[in-house]
Structure 1
């Protein structure tokens, strides 16, 4: 935000800028999200809906595997941002690497339609015909997650980066549909670009995501997009 003021007036003092930011925050014009990050207005935070089945399963998993980090969600929540609504969804259970197989066999033992880190060919051949399959995936370290009613689930930053990075699993959300998802997300909610880029770096896609965000930079003027210091 300081860079923004300097771009308008190179002679402005840092103390003056800090006072202006302080006043804007006091008046509710902007909201501080974290150090150096602000959003216009109240900054609406994204909180995904969780089904009773997901909540129940998560609690069972945490009882069975209390020391594992687990994140649960399903791709139907992306429909909020889409024009064309896909009829096929995936239930995703993301877990640390050392717990993937144990968790998979636990779910398998409950006669669930579950796949362990499916290959591209398996996704094309089998998952496309499944109505509501469960997929056990690796929970990448430092993934941006959040707790909703005691359930660890995704943030919007994670959803967007996952869509960007995993073209096959999120094939229904690619191309112009992905552009629309990003645009709608930026318009409706407060999004931290720095959080997205940190996660994209963990997925080795930081540079590509930076280029993409620059290509859609016109969306950054939307009210809820977080400005970086």
Structure 2
């Protein structure tokens, strides 16, 4: 019954060679089957189609069918991240960690920062133990740094490692043996912690979101689910909604 209203086969056939599908395109498509179809109905069908993976969102109000080959975000995990991962997991083999670098955001930014941070997210109960272990072996390790610590010390550190609490059920992925962050998670995190990610605030935040959504296929539903866990769902939803077509 649902396929009869969504007309999935016809939709794929009509749009599989088209790079960008607008809401008006979808309105015209469904108007073939139902006269005077409402915009709210179109919005609901877009939601259903994106949930099913038939459509994916390119930018605000612009979609493509899933047959179109879309670039996926695949960060380059450096040797230093691999070594850090091995070091932590060798000492703490049973804890949950997530490693990523703020360098990965460079491709989305207008102004390129000269300083990058390694983010080591650790489950809450193990944060201090990991901090003391790493501090004994290397410099510039900071535990859950405040805005003051960021401005006084982290900004002047050569290769800072920031140990931050890993939110439960965060959307992570694996690159080789390294557990790391999805782009969706990074986009939410930089909005949730402005003191830590000060470089990416303001107009630069809009650049990052705009370029990320234009370049990569992002799981918006999963992203908003994670944002809800962080108490930022409405802010993230508004930010995504404000992106230019």
| Same fold by TM-score greater than 0.5 | yes
Aligned position for 1:47: 74
Aligned position for 1:6: none
CA root-mean-square deviation: 2.3
Aligned position for 2:230: 203
Aligned position for 1:60: 87
Q: Among residues 153, 166, 184, which one is paired with 2:180 in the alignment?
A: 153
Deviation at 1:100, TM superposition (A): 0.5
**Contact 1:28 1:42 survives alignment (8 Å):** no
CA gap 1:94/1:28 in 2 versus in 1, 3 angstroms: farther
CA distance in 1, matches of 2:111, 2:11: 40
Runs of 4+ with >2 A deviation? 18-25, 27-30, 33-40
> SS of 2:7's equivalent?
helix
CA distance in 2, matches of 1:130, 1:20: 57
Structure 1, residues 37-92: CA drift from partner, whole Å, max 9, x if none? Answer: 33232122101111101101102211211111111111111111111111111111
Aligned length: 204
Name structure 2 gaps, 5 residues minimum: 20-48, 57-63
**Contact 1:104 1:116 survives alignment (8 Å):** yes
Q: Among residues 10, 19, 27, which one is paired with 2:9 in the alignment?
A: 19
- Larger Rg belongs to: 2
**Contact 2:146 2:195 survives alignment (8 Å):** no
CA distance in 2, matches of 1:65, 1:28: 50
Q: Which has the higher contact order (CA 8 A, sep 6+)?
A: 1
Aligned position for 1:101: 128
2:99 is the counterpart of 1:72: yes
CA distance in 2, matches of 1:177, 1:163: 11
2:110 is the counterpart of 1:83: yes
Deviation at 1:23, TM superposition (A): 4.7
